């Protein structure tokens, strides 16, 4: 009787609390429906973290481009990209952490944003960042899932042709630019890059369009010229104040991924390469003014790089220059490893290098090769903490001044200086280096493969999406790091 009475009391209490027993299965910490702006913000943050990260499981392009080298474990320095399965994490992060959330945000915007102008602006901004994300996937792998990629009901998406994807992305950018309206509402503070400002996003989209046009200039000069000149006419970045940066905070959880990877992770096994640091004229009166912002001095107060691939535990990191930042290297004036150092997603310096290249190819770039070249270098130096006077002095150096600069052609001169300016943006340096084939990077002594012209497809795709993987591998000429992508013609 006592048990029966107790059960009755408990049932009465439960029924008094709720008549909807299915609600007991709802996890309030993981809601099934969320506001569209939260999906957008999270995807934007993950996207920025991905292209900024120094995590050896994800973003190893500083090592491939020999900005840094490892002193202990040389797998990534030696191009062993399957050891920690970087292709798998890049693939899953972009598709599952970035693109699917941008796509969901676009869908939810249609129902939870009532103002028509705001709805259009938010949809266009979200799509611009989808284009940005796909750009890195297609220039890394080649053929990828695209038209069927974000359908959660299709676990085995077909792969689309890389050129077809790329040209469609350009069309999407044009549509997004046309859809954006200055004066209408937008994301506001939920946008971590431009605070939802439509005018800034229009300029960003045109600037990224310029970048995409230049990327295919060797492959399709006619298309590239049309794309570039259209972007220039519409208006691209004109100063460092236009830069697309995501500002991190000085305390977790929204901190600079490089700080997370190196400082919080307690890692000192990444140092500058002698090849890269020597480009900056270290320990001389005419050194590159960016050098103290890029790297810290070693234990002897000098800027010294390690020969690429010379480590494997046999060298002491204190003999060499680590990435800058006082928390990693006390006394450093640089910022690379500071917790609040921002993610640089697209900047004015890169834009001016693209305009210099456009002018060298005979496109209408709104200026001469020399003027854009000088503007690009000056913008980079000022961005990092130098002055316009520092830049003017640097531009007088024989190996820098455009007339006598390193390189046998205009494109080589531009590529050499863009390579230096793209420090800490290894992914973009890799894309530029592959399409212009300059500067020439000597392979590490124990290279696992040739210099990677692409990343191989994820092991997960090879094991699960077998039929479509095999078709894609065959279509591009083999799932190899030496297989050239469509824009790599040199």
pLDDT in tens, 123-150: 999 999 999 999 999 999 999 999 999 9
CA atoms within 13 A on the CB side of 170: 20
Query: Is 69 strand, coil or helix?
Result: strand
Cis peptide upstream of residue 439 (ω within 30 degrees of 0): yes
The pLDDT of residue 312 is above 90:
no
Q: Is residue 316 one of the residues assigned to a domain?
A: no
Distance (Å, whole) CA 78 – CA 246: 31
Query: In the structure encoding, which two tokens stand for residue 281, read together?
Result: 């004229």
Cβ neighbours of residue 286 under 8 Å, at least 6 residues apart?
393, 394, 397
CA dihedral 46, 296, 83, 460 (to 10 degrees): 10
The count of structural domains within the chain is: 1
pLDDT score recorded for residue 318: 86
Q: Is residue 462 one of the residues assigned to a domain?
A: yes
pLDDT score recorded for residue 314: 66
CATH of the domain at 413: 1.25.40.390
pLDDT score recorded for residue 313: 66
The pLDDT of residue 384 is above 70:
yes
pLDDT in tens, 22-43: 454 555 555 567 899 999 999 9
pLDDT score recorded for residue 282: 82
What percent of the chain has pLDDT above 90?
Answer: 88
Q: Is residue 56 one of the residues assigned to a domain?
A: yes
Distance (Å, whole) CA 191 – CA 283: 42
pLDDT in tens, 241-250: 999 999 999 9
Cis peptide upstream of residue 80 (ω within 30 degrees of 0): no
Q: Which range among 48-52, 248-252, 307-311 shows the weakest confidence by mean pLDDT?
A: 307-311
Helical packing angle, 348-360 and 221-234, nearest 10° = 130
pLDDT score recorded for residue 30: 54
pLDDT in tens, 86-130: 999 999 999 999 999 999 999 999 999 999 999 999 999 999 999
pLDDT score recorded for residue 410: 97
pLDDT score recorded for residue 376: 98
Helical packing angle, 348-360 and 369-384, nearest 10° = 160
Distance (Å, whole) CA 263 – CA 257: 10
Q: Is residue 270 one of the residues assigned to a domain?
A: no
Report whether 324 contacts 306 (CB < 8 A). Answer: no
Distance (Å, whole) CA 478 – CA 488: 15
Count the residues in the chain: 490
Indicate the pLDDT class of residue 443, thresholds 50, 70 and 90. very high
Indicate the pLDDT class of residue 370, thresholds 50, 70 and 90. very high
Indicate the pLDDT class of residue 286, thresholds 50, 70 and 90. confident
pLDDT score recorded for residue 317: 80
The CA distances from residue 30 to 20, 27, 105, in Å, are 19, 5, 16
Query: In the structure encoding, which two tokens stand for residue 4, read together?
Result: 């029966």
Mean pLDDT of 448-477: 97
Q: Is residue 424 one of the residues assigned to a domain?
A: yes
Q: Is residue 181 one of the residues assigned to a domain?
A: yes
Print the domain residue range for 423.
36-73+84-247+342-476
Nearest CA to 451 out of 309, 254, 292, 267 is that of 309
Q: Is residue 271 one of the residues assigned to a domain?
A: no
Mean pLDDT of 52-70: 97
Mean pLDDT of 366-384: 98
The pLDDT of residue 74 is above 90:
yes
pLDDT in tens, 326-357: 999 999 999 999 999 999 999 999 999 999 99
Query: In the structure encoding, which two tokens stand for residue 128, read together?
Result: 């611009």
Helical packing angle, 116-141 and 162-179, nearest 10° = 160
pLDDT score recorded for residue 8: 31
pLDDT score recorded for residue 28: 55
Pairing of strands 343-346, 244-246: antiparallel
pLDDT score recorded for residue 281: 86
Give the chain's mean pLDDT. Answer: 93
């Amino acid at each position: 009787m006592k048990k029966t009475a107790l059960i009755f009391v408990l049932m009465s209490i439960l029924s008094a609390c709720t008549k909807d027993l299915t609600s007991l299965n709802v996890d309030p910490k993981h809601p099934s429906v969320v506001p569209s702006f939260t999906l957008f913000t999270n995807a934007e943050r993950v996207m920025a973290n991905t292209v900024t990260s120094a995590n050896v499981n994800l973003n190893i392009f500083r090592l491939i481009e020999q900005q840094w080298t490892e002193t202990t474990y040389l797998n990534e320095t030696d191009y062993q990209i399957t050891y920690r399965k970087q292709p798998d994490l890049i693939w899953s992060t972009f598709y599952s952490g970035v693109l699917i959330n941008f796509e969901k945000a676009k869908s939810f915007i249609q129902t939870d944003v009532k103002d028509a102008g705001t709805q259009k602006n938010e949809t266009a901004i979200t799509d611009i960042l989808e284009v940005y994300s796909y750009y890195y996937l297609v220039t890394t792998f080649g053929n990828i899932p695209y038209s069927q990629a974000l359908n959660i009901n299709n676990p085995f998406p077909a792969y689309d042709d890389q050129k077809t994807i790329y040209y469609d992305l350009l069309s999407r950018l044009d549509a997004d630019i046309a859809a954006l309206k200055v004066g209408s509402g937008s994301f506001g503070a939920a946008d971590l890059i431009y605070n939802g400002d439509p005018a800034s996003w229009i300029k960003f989209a045109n600037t990224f369009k310029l970048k995409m046009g230049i990327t295919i200039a060797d492959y399709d000069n006619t298309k590239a010229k049309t794309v570039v000149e259209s972007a220039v006419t519409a208006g691209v970045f004109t100063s460092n104040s236009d830069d697309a940066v995501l500002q991190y905070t000085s305390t977790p959880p929204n901190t600079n991924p490089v700080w997370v990877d190196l400082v919080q992770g307690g890692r000192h096994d990444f140092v500058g390469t002698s090849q890269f640091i020597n480009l900056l004229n270290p320990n001389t009166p005419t050194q590159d003014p960016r050098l103290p912002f890029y790297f810290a001095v070693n234990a002897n107060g000098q800027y010294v790089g390690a020969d690429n691939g010379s480590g494997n535990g046999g060298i002491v990191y204190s003999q060499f220059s680590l990435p800058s930042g006082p928390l990693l290297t006390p006394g450093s004036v640089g910022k690379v490893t500071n917790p609040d150092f921002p993610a640089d997603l697209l900047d004015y310096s890169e834009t001016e290098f693209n305009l210099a290249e456009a002018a060298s190819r005979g496109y209408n770039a709104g200026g001469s090769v020399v003027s854009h070249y000088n503007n690009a270098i000056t913008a980079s130096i000022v961005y990092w903490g130098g002055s316009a006077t520092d830049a003017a002095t640097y531009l007088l150096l024989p190996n820098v001044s455009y007339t006598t600069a390193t390189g046998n052609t205009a494109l080589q001169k531009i590529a050499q200086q863009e390579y230096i300016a793209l420090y800490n943006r290894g992914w973009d340096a890799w894309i530029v280096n592959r399409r212009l084939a300059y500067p020439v990077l000597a392979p590490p002594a124990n290279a696992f493969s040739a210099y990677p012209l692409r990343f191989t497809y994820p092991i997960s795709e090879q094991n699960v999406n077998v039929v479509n993987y095999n078709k894609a591998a065959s279509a591009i000429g083999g799932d190899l790091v030496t297989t050239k992508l469509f824009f790599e013609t040199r």
